[in-house]
């Protein structure tokens, strides 16, 4: 199974400042035949289901503000919020869909 | 607008059974892989099962193999999860989700329902 490890578990950021969340997979999720990283990022607010932010590691889902960015390849990935807003308070999860069992990181709670 | 509405959760004793349903609307249900994912405070998000568009392929996490069965009724735009021999550790919120850009069962989910709570306890 591919283990997804996020860091940090908790992150406190001031309004307008940058937030950086890391995700590391126990094996590469880069599929060589199409050069795509099978890595997604989700945002979850209290009482809500996860919301898709990025897929293929860096492709922003429609409607996601451009202050959010995803990067990385192979085993190391990053989600960045360039200028933290109050509405960005949430738990963020990375997710590999390279192989079954599909697995998620344990989550990073981001607060103001 | 894509809508996924789960139902069927509740309190069940260990060893019991439950059948979860997910009613889909706003998209062509029969064109998408579908997924069940569960969430607990302790274990976070856990993928449970995927099913192909026509129901011909099904994949499960090891911890539920032989106990849970995923199925679908494309005529009724519905997804199901039959859960038997339930254990304490199956207690979770269960989400129905739509798969996108799937390579076989390897999908990310782009739309999720609100979830239904399953509590296994005596």
Kindly determine whether residue B108 and residue A49, on different chains, have CB atoms separated by under 8 Å: no
Per-residue pLDDT of chain B (122 residues; tens, 9 = 90+): 999 999 999 999 999 999 999 999 999 999 999 999 999 977 789 999 999 999 999 999 999 999 999 999 999 999 999 999 999 999 999 999 999 988 888 999 999 999 999 999 99
Q: What residue of B is the nearest CA neighbor of A106?
A: B44
Nearest to B112 among A49, A55, A104 (CB): A49
Percent helix / strand / coil, chain B, rounded to 5 = 10, 55, 35
Restricting to B residues 82-111, those with a Cβ less than 8 Å away from any Cβ of A are: 95, 97, 100-101, 103, 105-111
Quick check: A107 and B44 CB within 8 A?
yes
Q: Which residues of A make CB contacts under 8 Å with B? A: 31, 38, 40, 48-52, 55, 61, 93, 95, 97-107
Partners of A12 in beta bridges? A111
Alpha helices in B1-122 (DSSP H): none
- By Cβ distance, the residue of B61, B108, B115 closest to A97 is B108
* Alpha carbon distance A103, A71 (integer Å): 19
* pLDDT of res. A55: 97
Instruction: Mention every residue, 6+ apart, whose C-beta is less than 8 A from residue A73.
Output: A30, A37, A57
- Contact assignment for B108 to A95 by CB distance below 8 Å: yes
Chain A hits for B107, Cβ within 8 Å = 97, 102
The verdict on whether omega for the bond into residue B97 sits within 30 degrees of 0, i.e. cis, is no
Q: Exposed (0-12), middle (13-18) or buried (19+): which is A86, by Cβ within 10 Å?
A: exposed
Residues 20-49 of B with CB under 8 A from A: 44-47
Terminal-to-terminal C-alpha distance of chain B: 40
Q: Do A50 and B101 touch (CB under 8 A)?
A: no
CB contact under 8 Å between B114 and A49, yes or no, is yes
Q: What is the pLDDT along chain A (112 residues), one digit of tens a residue?
A: 999 999 999 999 999 999 999 999 999 999 999 999 999 999 999 999 999 999 999 999 999 999 999 999 999 999 999 999 999 999 999 999 999 999 999 999 999 9
DSSP conformation class of A61:
P
Alpha-carbon gap, residue A97 to B14, rounded angstroms: 31
Helix, strand or coil, per DSSP, at residue B51? strand
């Amino acid at each position: 199974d591919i283990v997804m490890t996020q860091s940090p578990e908790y992150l406190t950021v001031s309004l307008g400042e940058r937030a950086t969340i890391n995700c590391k997979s126990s094996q590469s999720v880069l599929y060589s035949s199409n050069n795509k990283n099978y890595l997604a990022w989700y945002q979850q607010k209290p009482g809500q289901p996860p919301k898709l932010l990025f897929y293929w590691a860096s492709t922003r889902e429609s409607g996601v503000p451009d202050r959010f960015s995803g990067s990385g390849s192979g085993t190391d990935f990053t989600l960045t919020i360039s200028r933290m807003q109050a509405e960005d308070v949430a738990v963020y999860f990375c997710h590999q869909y390279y192989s079954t069992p599909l697995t998620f990181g344990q989550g990073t709670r981001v607060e103001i | 607008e894509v809508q996924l509405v789960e139902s069927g959760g509740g309190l069940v004793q260990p060893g019991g059974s439950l059948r979860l349903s997910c009613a889909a609307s706003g998209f062509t249900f029969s064109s998408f892989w579908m997924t069940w994912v569960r969430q607990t405070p302790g274990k976070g998000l856990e993928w449970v099962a995927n099913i192909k568009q026509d129901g011909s392929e099904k994949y499960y996490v090891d911890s539920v193999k032989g106990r849970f069965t995923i199925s679908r009724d494309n005529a009724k735009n519905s997804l199901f999860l039959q859960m038997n021999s339930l254990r304490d550790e199956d207690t979770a919120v269960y989400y129905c989700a739509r798969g996108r850009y799937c390579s076989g069962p390897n999908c990310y989910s782009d739309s999720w329902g609100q979830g239904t709570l399953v509590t296994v306890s005596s």
